[in-house]
């Protein structure tokens, strides 16, 4: 566990890509959503919980994570983080100790 007050910069050892949603008209009055890369950054990924719920006869597993980043002021709703083929939907983000050094994201891993 990383304390908000003391973090070893070497703990930011996961290379992630920050992606933002891009909407394009689908020609029928709606939009198609895709994602484009915004930045490549170093982060620390901490698994938090996993739970399985039966949905339509299947048992998908929902895994949540805390992802620590150096301070980012450009985060907004709908963004996600990518690590190779793994995708993390950002649900909330905050400055954990209000010092302006880090951003802590609460994420859910997206299982394709």
pLDDT tens digits, 13-45: 999 999 999 999 988 989 999 999 999 999 999
Note down the domain range covering 23: 11-110
Asked whether residue 50 is domain-assigned, the answer is yes
pLDDT, mean of residues 83-95: 96
Residue 53, domain member (yes or no): yes
- Residue 60 maps to a domain: yes
Rounded Cα distance, 15 and 96, in Å:
21
Is 4 within the bounds of a domain?
Answer: no
Average pLDDT value for residue range 85-108: 94
Is the residue at 6 inside a domain? no
Nearest residue to 34 via CA among 44, 26, 24: 24
pLDDT for residue 3 = 52
The CATH number assigned to the domain holding 56 equals 2.40.10.270
Q: Do the domain assignments include residue 2?
A: no
Residue 19 lies in a domain: yes
* 5 falls within a domain: no
The count of structural domains within the chain is: 1
Alpha carbon distances (Å) from 7 to 27, 42, 61, 98, 106: 49, 13, 30, 14, 17
């Amino acid at each position: 566990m990383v304390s908000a007050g003391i973090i070893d910069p070497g703990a930011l050892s996961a290379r992630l890509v920050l992606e933002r949603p891009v909407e394009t008209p689908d020609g029928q009055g709606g939009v198609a959503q895709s994602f484009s890369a915004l930045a490549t950054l170093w982060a620390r990924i901490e698994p938090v919980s996993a739970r399985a719920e039966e949905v339509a006869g299947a048992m998908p597993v929902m895994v949540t994570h805390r992802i620590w980043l150096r301070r980012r002021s450009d985060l907004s709703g709908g963004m996600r983080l990518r690590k190779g083929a793994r995708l993390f939907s950002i649900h909330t983000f905050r400055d954990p100790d209000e010092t302006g050094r880090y951003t802590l994201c609460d994420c859910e891993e997206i299982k394709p």
